[in-house]
Structure 1
Amino acid sequence: MTDDGPDPFTNMFEAPAKLARALFAPLTEATTGTALKPEDMQHWAEVGTKLQGMWLEYQTEQLGDPQAFAAYFDPARWMRMADDWYRQMPLADPARQQALMQEGMALWQQVLGQYGLSPEGQPVAEGDPDLPRSDRRFADPRWRAHPAYALIHQTYLFLAERVAEMVDRMEGLSDEKREQLRFTTRTITEAASPSNFPLLNPVVMERTLETRGDNLVRGMEHLLADLRRGQLSHTDDSAFTLGENIAVTPGKVVHETPLYQLIQYSPTTDTVMETPLVIFPPWINRFYILDLNPKKSFVRWAVEQGVTVFMVSWKSADASMRDVVWDDYVRAQIDAIDHIRARLDVPAVHAIGYCVAGTTLAATLALLHRRGEQDKVASATFFTAQVDFEKAGELLNFVDDPQLGVVKAMTADGYLDGRYMAATFNLLRGTDLIWNYVVNNYLLGENYPAFDLLHWNGDVTNLPAKWHEQYLRDLYRDNRLVEADALSVDGTPIDLGLVATPSYIQAGKEDHIAPAESVWRITDHFTGPLKFVLAGSGHIAGVVNPPAAQKYQYWTNDAAPRSLGEFREGAAEHKGSWWPDWIEWLREQDGATVPAKGKRKPGGRGDTVIEDAPGRYVATR
């Protein structure tokens, strides 16, 4: 990789020739020792021809159709990143290499001993292998069935462990730089896993022999389909249709602007809460994460609790939105609030903000307070939303100047292709959301499952370039939202310290996008009555957890904890979903009810609506 010295990763696999022959010869004999029949040879030749032809066809297509965001996926860019990473690591130090070699050989002897083999590969005893390291990527028994594959994955896990330790022990690094190096190290070691390489993966090798290479043909079909769409597939998208088996809660689009559509859902109860609810989902994703199907739908459940529910459906950005900035999203939230108030003739609404829309809702509340219009919002609920980005987690690794420069280079048309954000979020959980699918769908040739959550995850939206750059720079990088009057919205300075709106704050215990510690900090800035709830699971499953599923748990603390640590220490655990706790809290804010008639039933007599839910905007690309 560099000229600074020998690569310890190569050295680690320079085992004595006698040992290598003793271990790997049985595998070679198993795959080549039996003479191939003429029909088998012909089949393998056909497989090779198919693979070559498919790849050549794709290359020919790409000559006239370069990827819109090739700068991000350019292999040279990632090679440079890996080279920069290597140069920062203390791997070229001879003493470090010698120590690694010694530990590595001791590991080999330990593993071989579990298989009753001497260091020269000769059998000495029988025993059940008890390997020193475990990882779910190597949980299949075939990784342990032969000492060669055991050595491969145990050596990998050993090296990954030692390299991670090096990052933790390196001197002279700032906290920010160390976190970046940790993230890069994990990304590279995940990519280097032997499970990702056909010849090193016994499960793939066995599947290839069983199918006579047909799995590789199917895998190539999957790979090329993903390359053509510029996005890794996680599910069978043909299994889902908006309005038919996802986003199916009945309702009408009752208002529309160039930035969003407003959906009102049809009531299922005779009476409803007088104060309606408006939900602001993140425009980074589609709104129907809260309306996946009848069993999982937060929208349907809330309607069944007697709530008049409105949902904002944001438009995926295109060139017409090149000048859209954060102020426009704040104004859109206020516009939706005002439209609902006028439509139903009510003084206020309850509001929910999810993720980035929750951050924006906080700014909206601060703006309304500064203008003396805070009574328009009776209560606010925040789903995994951040306002203080000091502890914002691994996404902070994407907001330095080089990264922002790459993003800017990909937004010449005034918007950021949503596939970039999808790839970024996938990197945060590379093993689960990238390499697991590389192995299953590209190498094993398995068909994609029909999974609504994964379909939503891949249903990307484009982002206005100016808003995206402003958000990353002002909030993530510079953390200006928590500085009183440091930011202005719609010409008005905002101060979160003015916000006295009763608020329900939900965080996910295992959230890797909006860490619980970061979400907690809303409590350091708002001055009104607050209730903080810590939900089991993460950014999605922690939110989308219907009571009927009886999954996970949540924690509450009725004292006055001053930190998330204090909250955890005194928290009471409750089994199942936090949704019932939220609806009880919402009713405490305003328990008045009214008949579900008139414009409470969208599309009824005398009510002009635009179209049926889920509307056009959610389907735009």
Structure 2
Amino acid sequence: MAMTKASGSDKPSTGDANAIEPYIVKDPEAFARNLARMLEELGRAAAAWVAPRESGEKTDTISEPYADMVKTFAKVSEYWLSDPSRAIEAQTHLLTSYFSIWNASIQRLSGADAPPATPAAHVGDKRFADKDWNDNAFFDFLRGAYWVTSDWAEKLIVDAEGLDPHLKHKAQFYTRQIIDALSPSNFLLTNPELYRETVAENGENLVRGMRMLAEDIAAGKGDLKLRQSDASKFKVGENLATTPGKVIAQSDVCQVIQYEPTTEKVLKRPLLICPPWINKFYILDLNPQKSFIAWAVAQGHTVFVISWVNPDERHRDMDWESYARDGIGFAIDAAEQATGETGVNAIGYCVGGTLLAATLALHAKEKDTRIKSVTFLTTQVDFTHAGDLKVFVDEDQIEAIEAGMEKSGFLEGSKMSTAFNMLRSSDLIWPYVVNNYLKGKDPMPFDLLYWNSDSTRMPCANHSFYLRNCYLENKLSMGKMELAGHRLSLKDVRIPVYNLATKEDHIAPAKSVFIGSQFFGGDVHYVLSGSGHIAGVVNPPDKKKYQFWTGGPPVGAFEDWVQTAEEHPGSWWPHWQQWLTALDGMDATVDAKSRKPGGRKLKPIEDAPGSYVRARA
């Protein structure tokens, strides 16, 4: 560790005291006292984990998810161990790579001109931004060994022949989770920045970190509730979800919010937004600067939003038909009573869009034509290419989830939050573990990550139906989903469709959304936005961020469509507004005074954003 790069030189030095000095403990007694305090806080964290398990409040089952991981890797191991020469070749390749890194490190230590080797695939890895990952030969060796091992492990999965595609997908996913977890940037003694900070603070950072760990386990009632934002800086209804409006109707499944108009004239046909029930609706109303809802109101729309209930054991039997009838159908009825209009334009976001698509197919069977156009935001209706979330869906895993839900009547929101975070664990898990529990620092306030942590539960019947009919059996696109006694076909959905995907989406991949477009019976306008599942949607025009692409009909290969698509700078919001207002019947306007929330027939229940959205899981 003492062998670091000399100041003002491109070669490492074995005697640079200034470089060594930040890694030397100055006050051993203070350091020892803080280590003792750290162990005390760690004991409190352990007690917070054990207490609900001793009381029976919480039980753990080995089947989730570690047993599945072990079974998956066992299948991969069978391939490599079944042929000794194949296994030896793989091991030889890894050892050769280690020797190359070792030789380069020796050269650097001896003063030779041997710059750090950074594989092209890892250039710009922000986990290794600290200068000592390059300047210090010890940390450079650790980083190089990690990269070599990671690449080798991933190649083992890719090169394993004859594996079931789903099993290989799971093996690749689990391997990435282990790789991200074992990064030397995640450990005190192998991260130069953490090492220096701990020495500089005599371990005080570890005391704070273990205290935060104990608090987060207690907040999660025995599970770690990883804080990604300073929650004390946000409150729903005060600095989040602040667009003025009223709750005008309420069912066991949802509240319906109508927003106050801000223009003198409004479009005659109202706009109904169906958000996902897996998250809360205020992602579309984070603050006045980012709010799609406020922007839509400013464009002259009379906006209605479904705010789903945060379910408990009372809602265990609420299934997709319940959400279609007492959610979407109920909201359409409320909009009709409040405005006198029999037609609405609808927007569905993520799984809210999937439900909306199924509801449209159901409406087609029942001759209900009140939804005149539909906009899907990062919505899948075909799950063939549904991305890494499919890792969590096979018969064994669904049975385990259903067994857990059967006891409580719902799936804990933290389970889904963890699954979503695992899709990008190097961004959404480990940086916060390092920052919170090793550096002992509070995370920065960030409204998006506060919303991300404000999780919701899933009713047993609803979630089971979704997992089996969509992810496992892909019934909606195949015309085999049954709802309310009808077999649904998306070909019956012939209204205009605006289908937005995002380029870097880990939840509803752009290719999956593109392929889903072909199953509708009418015209589909496919648009690809820059960024990911959230930032690609919540992209206000005045921010001038990202871009979007338009092209011809979504037919043929997705890759071919992308090659010929036209790129446009900025937000897709104005483009959507132009598409929507060009539709038949959208040229009519009415006086905004007639669009007071609730109208003449419905008495407002409470101010927006309502009480349902405030319920915490």
TM more than 0.5: yes
Deviations 1:324-352 (A, max 9, x none): 11111111211211221132111200000
The answer (yes or no) to whether the contact 1:71–1:410 under 8 Å persists in 2 is no
What is the match of residue 137 of structure 2? 147
Provide the rounded CA distance (Å) in 1 between the counterparts of 2:322 and 2:65.
Answer: 34
1:384 to 378, 384, 398: 378
The answer (yes or no) to whether the contact 2:249–2:602 under 8 Å persists in 1 is no
What is the match of residue 592 of structure 2? 596
SS at 1:268's partner residue?
coil
How many corresponding residue pairs? 586
1:71 to 60, 66, 87: 60
Q: RMSD of aligned C-alpha atoms?
A: 2.6
SS at 2:408's partner residue?
coil
Q: Which stretch shows the higher mean deviation, 124-133 or 98-107?
A: 124-133
Shift of the 521–204 alpha-carbon distance from structure 1 to 2, 3 Å rule, reads: same
What is the match of residue 422 of structure 1? 417
What is the match of residue 38 of structure 2? 51
Aligned residue type for 2:191: N
Provide the rounded CA distance (Å) in 1 between the counterparts of 2:262 and 2:210.
Answer: 48
**TM alignment of 1:159-558, pairs within 5 A:** 159-230=149-220, 231-331=225-325, 332-373=327-368, 375-411=369-405, 412-484=407-479, 486-558=480-552
The answer (yes or no) to whether the contact 2:72–2:171 under 8 Å persists in 1 is no
Shift of the 180–24 alpha-carbon distance from structure 1 to 2, 3 Å rule, reads: farther
The answer (yes or no) to whether the contact 2:194–2:438 under 8 Å persists in 1 is yes
Q: Which stretch shows the higher mean deviation, 91-100 or 438-447?
A: 91-100
Q: CA deviation at 1:462?
A: 0.5
Provide the rounded CA distance (Å) in 2 between the counterparts of 1:216 and 1:101.
Answer: 35
Provide the rounded CA distance (Å) in 1 between the counterparts of 2:25 and 2:208.
Answer: 26
Identity %: 41
Provide the rounded CA distance (Å) in 1 between the counterparts of 2:448 and 2:73.
Answer: 34
Provide the rounded CA distance (Å) in 1 between the counterparts of 2:64 and 2:336.
Answer: 54
Shift of the 582–389 alpha-carbon distance from structure 1 to 2, 3 Å rule, reads: same
Deviations 1:418-442 (A, max 9, x none): 0000001111101001111111111
Aligned residue type for 2:536: G
Shift of the 35–210 alpha-carbon distance from structure 1 to 2, 3 Å rule, reads: closer
Aligned residue type for 2:98: G
The answer (yes or no) to whether the contact 1:111–1:131 under 8 Å persists in 2 is no
Q: CA deviation at 1:59?
A: 3.2
Deviations 1:54-92 (A, max 9, x none): 2223334444323966536x6996387358526724388
Q: Normalised by the size of structure 2, how large is the TM-score?
A: 0.90
Aligned residue type for 1:594: V
Provide the rounded CA distance (Å) in 2 between the counterparts of 1:165 and 1:45.
Answer: 43
Shift of the 414–25 alpha-carbon distance from structure 1 to 2, 3 Å rule, reads: farther
Provide the rounded CA distance (Å) in 1 between the counterparts of 2:558 and 2:93.
Answer: 41
The answer (yes or no) to whether the contact 1:553–1:578 under 8 Å persists in 2 is yes
The answer (yes or no) to whether the contact 2:517–2:554 under 8 Å persists in 1 is no
Deviations 1:253-296 (A, max 9, x none): 00000110000000000000000000000000010000000000
Provide the rounded CA distance (Å) in 1 between the counterparts of 2:133 and 2:45.
Answer: 34
The answer (yes or no) to whether the contact 2:271–2:345 under 8 Å persists in 1 is yes
Q: CA deviation at 1:175?
A: 1.9
Aligned residue type for 1:527: G
Aligned residue type for 1:591: D
Deviations 1:479-512 (A, max 9, x none): 111222x222122221111110111000001101
Provide the rounded CA distance (Å) in 1 between the counterparts of 2:111 and 2:274.
Answer: 67
The answer (yes or no) to whether the contact 2:209–2:436 under 8 Å persists in 1 is yes
Runs of 4+ in structure 1 off by over 6 angstroms are 22-27, 31-35, 603-606
What is the match of residue 12 of structure 1? none
Unaligned runs of 5+ in 2: 1-11
Q: CA deviation at 1:180?
A: 1.2
Deviations 1:310-329 (A, max 9, x none): 01000011010011111111
Provide the rounded CA distance (Å) in 2 between the counterparts of 1:581 and 1:522.
Answer: 21
Q: CA deviation at 1:46?
A: 2.3
SS at 2:579's partner residue?
helix
The answer (yes or no) to whether the contact 2:23–2:196 under 8 Å persists in 1 is no
Provide the rounded CA distance (Å) in 2 between the counterparts of 1:303 and 1:54.
Answer: 50
Deviations 1:594-619 (A, max 9, x none): 11113x11267886210000000001
Provide the rounded CA distance (Å) in 2 between the counterparts of 1:68 and 1:566.
Answer: 53
Provide the rounded CA distance (Å) in 2 between the counterparts of 1:559 and 1:581.
Answer: 16
What is the match of residue 99 of structure 2? 105
Shift of the 298–212 alpha-carbon distance from structure 1 to 2, 3 Å rule, reads: same
SS at 1:217's partner residue?
helix
The answer (yes or no) to whether the contact 2:338–2:598 under 8 Å persists in 1 is no
Shift of the 571–33 alpha-carbon distance from structure 1 to 2, 3 Å rule, reads: closer
The answer (yes or no) to whether the contact 2:377–2:501 under 8 Å persists in 1 is yes
SS at 1:173's partner residue?
coil
Provide the rounded CA distance (Å) in 2 between the counterparts of 1:308 and 1:372.
Answer: 25
Aligned residue type for 1:592: A
Aligned residue type for 1:214: E
What is the match of residue 4 of structure 1? none
SS at 2:549's partner residue?
strand
Provide the rounded CA distance (Å) in 1 between the counterparts of 2:470 and 2:239.
Answer: 37
The answer (yes or no) to whether the contact 2:264–2:592 under 8 Å persists in 1 is yes
The answer (yes or no) to whether the contact 1:71–1:406 under 8 Å persists in 2 is no
